[in-house]
Chains A and B, each alone.
Chain A
Amino acid sequence: MSKHDRPHDPGAAASAAPAHGAGHGSGTHDHPSRSLFVTIWLVLGFLTAVEVAVPQVFNSPWNHTTKMLLLVFLASGKAILVAAYFMHLKWEAKWVRRIAMAPAYMGVAAVLLMIEEHFRPLFS
């Protein structure tokens, strides 16, 4: 871009921003507000505090499964919040979302391997 193509005054540059904001991501959403981002940040902080408390509350062998499920649920929730709001996936087009979701296959592989490990004694 040549220098003369740039806006000459800050006002012009600033006025271009809202026009772009409306076209951000998939181009079909309003620009997310800062208060929304701060809310997500507070929720993430709260969930982190809950996560740290979970192993101390569920610290007996008999409630190990509860602890595991709770922690995986909390971590998944936090990851989804970061991806959806901070990474703007909520406002992206479907193929961008599909690309982003591809590594979730590793979660499926993990579940399949755990099932295989669980039923292995039956076939050995």
Chain B
Amino acid sequence: MSSTHAIPASVPRDEHVGNATGGKVGMWLFIAQDGFSFGGLLLAYGLLRIFSTDWPGPGLRPTDILGINLTAVATFVLICSSITMVMAVDSAQRANRRGTVLWLLGTILGGLMFLSVQAYEYTHLVHEGIGFTTSTWHGQPINNLFGSTFYVVTGFHGCHVTAGVIYLLFVLRGALKGKYTQGGLTYSPVELVGLFWHFVDLVWILVFTFIYLL
């Protein structure tokens, strides 16, 4: 007699949330409230920018100060880490332990690369005079709110990437032990970390547009 029946293939269907597990609904609720946090920060950034006569400074545009090409590469790296995350979830669903581990490693690598670029960018900007409370550009004072809002929004996102990498490392440990590739719903933790990671990617898409490109 096969013992696979002991591992639930799905949770009983609910009228409102379908076959979503409790963990998935919980993660979505967390993501929603986190989305409000990012939304509030971006909204505050937008309002401060609208009411500023010179943003980021007289005759300057954000693209003059921020390294668009480097950040575009970081953005693409984050998008690549999203596809590796999708593949990790898919591998776990197919009970493929090796695939799950390798794709998770790829995702972690993408996250670390993104954080490295962010650290390099911060170092460069600080050397150029863009501080958290006061900012100058080529020796000339510019709108201090530019640096403040930039570091708050991108820093908050960077904290999420860091948390995501740590979360991924914990899941990787379980994946190495084969905990998530036993069929049925055992893959669920990989899916949950995936939801968080994709959310981090989604938020960066918006941050990249509103902070860097506009």
Interface residues of A (CB under 8 A from B): 1, 4-8, 10, 12-17, 19-21, 23-28, 31, 34, 37-38, 40-41, 44-45, 48-49, 51-52, 54-55, 67-68, 71-72, 74-75, 78-79, 82-83, 86-87, 92-96, 99-100, 102-103, 105-107, 109-110, 113-114, 117
Ranked 9 nearest A-B pairs via Cβ: A106-B39, A103-B35, A16-B183, A93-B18, A26-B18, A27-B19, A5-B6, A23-B10, A75-B209
Of residues 1 to 59 in B, which have CB atoms within 8 Å of A's CB atoms?
2-4, 6-7, 9-10, 13-14, 16-20, 24-25, 28-29, 31-32, 35-36, 38-40, 42-43, 46-47, 50-51
Q: A94 contacts B16, CB within 8 Å?
A: yes
Decide if B157 is an interface residue (CB 8 Å cutoff). no
Q: B182 contacts A13, CB within 8 Å?
A: yes
Residues of B contacting A72 in the complex (Cβ-Cβ under 8 angstroms) = 209
A-B contact count (CB 8 A): 192
Decide if B132 is an interface residue (CB 8 Å cutoff). no
A79 to B203, CA, bound (A): 8
Residues of A contacting B42 in the complex (Cβ-Cβ under 8 angstroms) = 106, 110
Residues of A contacting B39 in the complex (Cβ-Cβ under 8 angstroms) = 103, 105-107, 109
Decide yes or no: A45 and B19 within 8 Å by CB, A6-B7, A16-B95, A51-B213 being known contacts.
Answer: no
Closest Cβ–Cβ distance, residue A6 to chain B (whole Å) = 5
Nearest neighbor of B34 in chain A, beta-carbon distance: A103
A-side interface mostly = helix
Q: B17 contacts A95, CB within 8 Å?
A: yes
A29 to B63, CA, bound (A): 44
Residues of B contacting A5 in the complex (Cβ-Cβ under 8 angstroms) = 3, 6-7
| Per-residue A-contact encoding for B189-214, CB less than 8 Å = 1, 0 else | 00000110011011001101110011
Closest Cβ–Cβ distance, residue A70 to chain B (whole Å) = 10
Residues of A contacting B163 in the complex (Cβ-Cβ under 8 angstroms) = none
- B78-86, B119-127, B144-152: which lies at the interface: B78-86
Residues of B contacting A55 in the complex (Cβ-Cβ under 8 angstroms) = 63, 68, 213
A113 to B93, CA, bound (A): 44
Closest Cβ–Cβ distance, residue A16 to chain B (whole Å) = 3
Decide if B185 is an interface residue (CB 8 Å cutoff). yes
A107 to B6, CA, bound (A): 45
* Cβ-neighbour of A87 out of B18, B181, B195 (below 8 A): B195
Nearest neighbor of A37 in chain B, beta-carbon distance: B86
Provide a sorted-by-A list of 13 A–B residue pairs whose CB atoms are within 8 angstroms.
A7-B7, A8-B3, A10-B95, A12-B183, A14-B94, A28-B18, A52-B68, A72-B209, A87-B195, A96-B24, A103-B35, A113-B43, A113-B46
Closest Cβ–Cβ distance, residue B25 to chain A (whole Å) = 7
Residues of A contacting B209 in the complex (Cβ-Cβ under 8 angstroms) = 51, 71-72, 74-75
A74 to B72, CA, bound (A): 14
A92 to B16, CA, bound (A): 10
